[in-house]
Amino acid sequence: MPAPSHDQNFKNLILDYPRQALAFFAPDEARDLDDAVRITPIRQEQLKDRLGDRFHELDVPLLAEWPDGRREALLFVLEEESTPGRFSIHRLVSYYATLAELMETDRVVPVVIFLRGSERVRRHLDLGSERHIYLRFDYLACILADTPADAWLDSSNLVARLNLPNMRWPRERKLEIYAQAVRGLIGLEPSIEKRIKYMDFIDIYSPLDDNERRLYEQRYPQENEEMQTWSERASERARHAGIQQGLLQGREDGERELLTRQLSRRFGPLDRQTSERLQRATRANLERWADSILDAQTLEDVFGEH
């Protein structure tokens, strides 16, 4: 089984729940983001100085805008760092400065999400000499492994509840933490599709072995039954969608075969170009050509625009 892409997992989480992500990962700065504030994910891909350089393609810039003009727009940039040893504050400050220039703003909130902390991770950067500091840079650091799970067990913030497995808790409470994350997903996310999607998130960051799974089913039968219901619904929807797709494809293939026979009977054997055109045709094309064949005098008349 391939290793999970933490960058992509957190990018999906932030893009699906941007307001709750800001409230959890950057609470002080997000305090003034009421319901009137518009939060929009943006994409600012940047050219690399060298082709071999690491590319910041998995950061998540979110633009907060106050429609009534109370404040200027504020750019939040969240980046996930699953490996503290790879983190570079120099690279970070360069990146944020470039992004601020591209967005033509100095109002930027840099947020770095660490799965775990490290003493080697620099939290501040001062560039200058013994006489003067010319550049001072700080960022918001959310270290999930240092965050006490007890503070978020009953939170109404879905991003926090889904991240309970990533927080600090005693090993013997694993099933409780897992169950609280699942309860949050059940109670806070109405969409079946997103429930299934973020059940995977919980399982990735707190996988249960066979014995733990059996204990979980015994201790938390209601949550387990709910999970099984999601799975059954998802399977049924997938099966139904597959049947509908098969019916549509079969109908389209039948229309293509009928039109091919009609064209051959009317105008003689079809050349390769015409046969390939029929194979690439959409259902709308096939229906239009089937109508055209009634009055067409030549093959070109069938395929001509009307």
Q: pLDDT tens across 253-288, in order?
A: 777 887 788 888 888 888 888 888 888 888 778 778
Would 214 be classed as within a structural domain? no
Q: pLDDT tens across 187-229, in order?
A: 999 998 899 889 989 999 999 999 999 999 999 988 878 877 7
Would 212 be classed as within a structural domain? no
Would 215 be classed as within a structural domain? no
Number of domains within the chain: 2
Would 270 be classed as within a structural domain? yes
Which residues are within 8 A (CB) of 49 and not within 5 positions of it... i.e. 6 or more apart?
none
- The answer to whether residues 25 and 121 belong to one domain is yes
Range of the domain at 73: 1-146
Would 195 be classed as within a structural domain? no
Q: What pLDDT band is residue 4 in, cutting at 50, 70 and 90?
A: low
Would 207 be classed as within a structural domain? no
Would 217 be classed as within a structural domain? no
Write down the pTM of the prediction.
Answer: 0.71
Residues 80 and 247: their CA atoms lie apart, in Å, by 44
Contact call for residues 154 and 181 (beta carbons, < 8 A): no
- The answer to whether residues 112 and 3 belong to one domain is yes
Residues 72 and 64: their CA atoms lie apart, in Å, by 9
- The answer to whether residues 125 and 5 belong to one domain is yes
Would 33 be classed as within a structural domain? yes
Output the six-digit token pair for 68: 């009534």
